[in-house]
Amino acid sequence: MLKVIKLLILLVIIASFSSCIPKKKLLYTQDQKEKDEQNEYVNIRPEKTIQPFDNIYIKVSSIDEKTASIFDSQTRNASEININLLSYTVNQSGYINFPFVGEIFVKNMTLPQAQVRIEEEVGEYLPNISISVKFVNNTVSVLGEVKRPGEYAFYRDQITIFQALSFASGITDYGNKQKVILVREAKNKINYYYLDLTNKNIVSSEYYYIIPNDVLIVKPIRAKFRNLSLVNLPIFLATITTLSTLYILFYK
């Protein structure tokens, strides 16, 4: 019986240590060794270009009362109707279909470039106008070991990976910050990138900025699976104790 008790104590001790999570897996952007310490990083923020199936919102302003009245009605209704319904979807060939003008090519343009192009095209039919262009319907999906997995909308051209994770209320204690997967589609190809958020150099990475339709997947650490197995530990220990008691009663 003494041997059985010692075995049970040993199992509890092993389980306790195996469920501990190392500190280095819990912290973002950890400090480096003193000789390698760096606190200033440079990251040239990439500018998103318009791609097929993007949605862009176009606001037309004009000093001409008739022209202004046509497009002002759309702008006023934007507060009443979801702005996505008033956006223009870029087709697979890179064109939008604009009223009075027809198709306008905007693929691979930045927003300022698209603004100039649309003003030129529309200006041939409607003089004295001003165009402003914005992306709408931007989303990022955050999955895996985060507190609130889901798809989140944002209204800027780009956000950082930390801002994206904050939408999901951050990574859980069982999330592996050293293995965060970024899934990104570009030029009809889907690419997987593995990021280490415990490394301060992440802020200078080309993947630090999230672009619309990116997907983030936070993988779990091994300790989660060990802890899940500990859920059944009381049952296991009770079974061992019962078997030990029966053994003593019937064979002693």
Model pLDDT for residues 85-117, shown as the tens digit of each residue: 568 999 999 999 988 789 999 999 999 999 999
pLDDT at 6: 54
Q: Domain ends where: 117, 136, 155? A: 136
Q: Domain ends where: 87, 112, 136? A: 136
pLDDT at 214: 93
Asked whether residue 213 carries a pLDDT value surpassing 60, the answer given is yes
The domain total for the chain is 3
- Higher pLDDT: 65 or 172? It is 172
**80 and 10 co-located in one domain:** no
**129 and 142 co-located in one domain:** no
pLDDT, tens digit (0-9, with 9 covering 90-100), for 142-170: 999 999 999 998 877 779 999 999 999 99
**181 and 142 co-located in one domain:** yes
Single pTM value for the model: 0.63
User: Rounded CA gap, 109 and 87, in Å?
Assistant: 17
Q: What is the CATH number of the domain that holds 216?
A: 3.10.560.10
**152 and 213 co-located in one domain:** yes
**93 and 127 co-located in one domain:** yes
pLDDT at 200: 87
pLDDT at 12: 53
Asked whether residue 212 carries a pLDDT value surpassing 60, the answer given is yes
Q: Which of 126-135, 153-162, 205-214, 237-246 has the lowest mean pLDDT?
A: 237-246
pLDDT, tens digit (0-9, with 9 covering 90-100), for 40-51: 556 566 778 888
pLDDT at 93: 93
Q: Domain ends where: 101, 136, 171? A: 136
pLDDT at 228: 46
pLDDT at 215: 96
**29 and 15 co-located in one domain:** no
pLDDT, tens digit (0-9, with 9 covering 90-100), for 17-29: 555 555 455 555 5
Domain holding 96, by residue range, is: 55-136
User: Rounded CA gap, 152 and 168, in Å?
Assistant: 8
Burial 49-78 (b: 16+ CB within 10 A, else e): bbbeebbbbbebebeeeebbeebeeeeeee
Asked whether residue 31 carries a pLDDT value surpassing 70, the answer given is no
Asked whether residue 79 carries a pLDDT value surpassing 70, the answer given is no
Pairing of strands 175-186, 88-89: unpaired
